[in-house]
């Protein structure tokens, strides 16, 4: 009996313990849920406090950010790209003046694009085509400049009148996108230009700057083109080779009549869009038209990408080069159409590693290296490739032009698969370039060597080949391969191929025969001194 009572008591105690344990776990669970609920409330409260604090301390945050930039933290090199994030990026954030967001948003830490957008309309731009929106663009840029990988948006269906402006660093963050979907037009009031400026829209000292979109930059250059300017380049030297069949053909067809209401524009004509001293520059998708002078210029830039660009101005608009490169390297231009009144692409001194392909050119003066060596200067150009290009009704096809008296060199150039249609002078090397009445004969020259022409085909209207090289420093290693050029009698006197002091190799028979090319190397060629070499 006592044994039975002991077992019963033990069993009852076990049952009681289990019931008590169950109640305790439920209590702990309830306490846990209550703790988590309080945690969310505390987090929410902290978030609200942070927002208020951010608003109150926005200026101080911006000041701290600026001071930190001058500190010792190393910056990523321009080519640095952060690894892609895991998972989808957050939705874009739109920042407007007056919002409760901090005045200086947090710095981009890498990974996905933080998607901060600055719309010029939110900074006061009207976009009605008549109100001056320059200050609104300046304010939007000042905000975007502080945020890495931000976007400055120029929305579609608006026309923004913008005066001369500089979107400049070097204290801007990297990888800013200028999203151009609307239209930017230049002022035609002379007062907006003062005594004249060299550029209209300038981007300088930036890292990873991109201009993209479906928008338009319109320089409204017809108000500048009517009168010649002392700052203009004189008429292209190759015009002396193009002699009309009769005197009724104009060397310079009339340009559009300028509006009497516009007043007299300054003598100095601006470039529409210029990049200076910048790394990793991209221009894609947009259209640039009717620039007063050059349309798109790159000076002292490293890492340039231009594609799916359209450049358009009348063929008689003087000195309106399409794309101008100077002291820039690592350049890629492709899938682009250029119609203008001067060179479709101009490659000047200090350029190297330039690759141009799939470009339509015309009207215009073709694709040119130079002019180089003017005023006895040193010029260095190397590693240039131009291929898969279509040229129609241009003055020149592919051209190298240098002045007497210069020094330096042009070397390592390939012109390949160029289709020409009624081009006046498809292949040109001119070491006697002179765009004025007469030039002094000089013995020194920019050395030209290692130039290859292959698969240059189509029709010409004046002369298929013009090689005029220096007496003291002939052109060497000039290679011709698969050249097939047929004449089309149009408005000009026609001439046979011309060569002077040009040495190289014929890889295949040419049409027409180019017997004037001297095979091999010159017997006595002046060696480049250390001073002349690049």
Active site residue 250: no
Distance CA 79, CA 75 (A): 11
**Beta strands per DSSP E along 80-207:** 93-94, 116-119, 128-132, 151-154, 159-161, 165-168, 177-180, 183-185, 199-204
The owner of tokens 């895991």 is 86
φ, ψ for residue 13, nearest 5 deg: -65, -40
Q: Where are the alpha helices (DSSP H) in 101-225?
A: 134-144, 222-225
The b-or-e profile of 169-181 (16+ CB within 10 A means b, else e) is beebbbbbbbbbb
Cα–Cα distances (Å) from 47 to 40, 58, 199, 513, in that order, read 10, 16, 47, 81
φ, ψ for residue 377, nearest 5 deg: -90, 165
Distance CA 15, CA 183 (A): 83
Cα torsion 467, 234, 533, 275: sign: negative
End-to-end CA distance of the chain: 116
Distance CA 60, CA 102 (A): 10
- 512 prior amide bond cis, ω within 30: yes
Three-state DSSP state, 104:
coil
127, 121 contact by CB (below 8 A) = yes
User: Pick from 511, 510, 528, 527: which is nearest to 519 by CA?
Assistant: 510
Distance CA 180, CA 335 (A): 19
User: How crowded is the C-beta side of 68, counted as CA atoms within 13 Å?
Assistant: 13
**Which one of the listed residues 365, 466, 493, 531 is annotated catalytic?**
365
Q: Helix 2-56 crosses helix 58-69 at what angle (to 10 degrees)? A: 80
User: Pick from 289, 361, 288, 350: which is nearest to 325 by CA?
Assistant: 350
DSSP string over 62-100: HHHHHHHHTSSPPPPPTT--PPPPSSPPPPPEE--TT-S
Active site (catalytic) residues: 365
């Amino acid at each position: 009996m006592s044994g039975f009572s002991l077992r019963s008591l033990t069993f009852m105690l076990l049952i009681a313990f289990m019931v008590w344990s169950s109640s305790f776990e439920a209590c702990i669970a309830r306490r846990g849920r209550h703790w988590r609920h309080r945690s969310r409330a505390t987090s929410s409260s902290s978030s609200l406090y942070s927002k208020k604090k951010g608003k109150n301390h926005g200026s101080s945050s911006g000041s701290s950010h600026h001071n930190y930039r001058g500190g010792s933290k190393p910056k990523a090199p321009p080519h640095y790209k952060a690894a892609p994030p895991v998972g989808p990026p957050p939705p874009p954030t739109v920042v407007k003046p007056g919002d409760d967001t901090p005045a200086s948003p947090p710095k981009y830490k890498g990974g996905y694009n933080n998607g901060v957008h600055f719309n010029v309309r939110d900074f006061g731009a009207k976009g009605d085509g008549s109100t001056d929106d320059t200050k609104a663009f300046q304010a939007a840029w000042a905000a975007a400049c502080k945020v890495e990988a931000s976007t400055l948006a120029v929305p579609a269906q608006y026309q923004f009148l913008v005066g001369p402006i500089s979107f400049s660093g070097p204290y801007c963050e990297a990888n800013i996108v200028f999203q151009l979907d609307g239209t930017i037009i230049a002022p035609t009031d002379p007062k907006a230009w003062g005594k004249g400026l060299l550029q209209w829209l300038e981007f300088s000292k930036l890292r990873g700057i991109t201009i993209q979109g479906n928008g338009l930059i319109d320089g409204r250059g017809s108000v500048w083109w009517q009168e010649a300017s002392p700052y203009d380049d004189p008429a292209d030297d190759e015009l002396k080779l193009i002699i009309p069949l009769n005197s009724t053909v104009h060397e310079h067809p009339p340009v559009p009549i300028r509006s009497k209401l516009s007043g007299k524009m300054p003598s100095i004509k601006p470039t529409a869009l210029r990049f200076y001293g910048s790394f990793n520059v991209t221009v894609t998708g947009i259209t640039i038209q009717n620039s007063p002078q050059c349309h798109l210029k790159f000076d002292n830039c490293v890492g340039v990408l231009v594609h799916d660009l359209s450049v358009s101005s009348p063929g008689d608009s003087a000195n309106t080069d399409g794309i101008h490169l100077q002291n820039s390297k690592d350049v890629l231009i492709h899938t682009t159409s250029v119609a203008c009144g001067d060179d479709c692409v101009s490659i000047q001194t200090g350029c190297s590693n330039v690759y141009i392909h799939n470009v339509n050119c015309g009207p215009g003066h073709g694709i040119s290296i130079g002019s180089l060596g003017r005023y006895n200067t040193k010029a260095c150009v190397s590693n240039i490739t131009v291929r898969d290009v279509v040229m129609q009704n241009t003055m020149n096809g592919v051209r190298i032009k240098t002045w007497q008296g210069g020094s330096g060199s042009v070397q390592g150039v390939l012109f390949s698969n160029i289709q020409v249609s009624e081009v006046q002078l498809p292949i040109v090397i001119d070491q006697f370039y002179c765009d004025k009445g007469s030039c002094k004969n000089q013995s020194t020259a920019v050395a030209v060597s290692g130039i290859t022409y292959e698969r240059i085909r189509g029709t010409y209207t004046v002369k298929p080949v013009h090689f005029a090289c220096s007496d003291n420093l002939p052109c060497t290693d000039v290679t011709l391969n698969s050249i097939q050029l047929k004449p089309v009698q149009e408005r000009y006197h026609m001439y046979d191929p011309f060569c002077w002091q040009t040495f190289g190799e014929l890889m295949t028979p040419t049409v027409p025969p180019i017997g004037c090319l001297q095979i091999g190397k010159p017997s006595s060629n002046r060696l480049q001194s250390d001073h002349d070499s690049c």
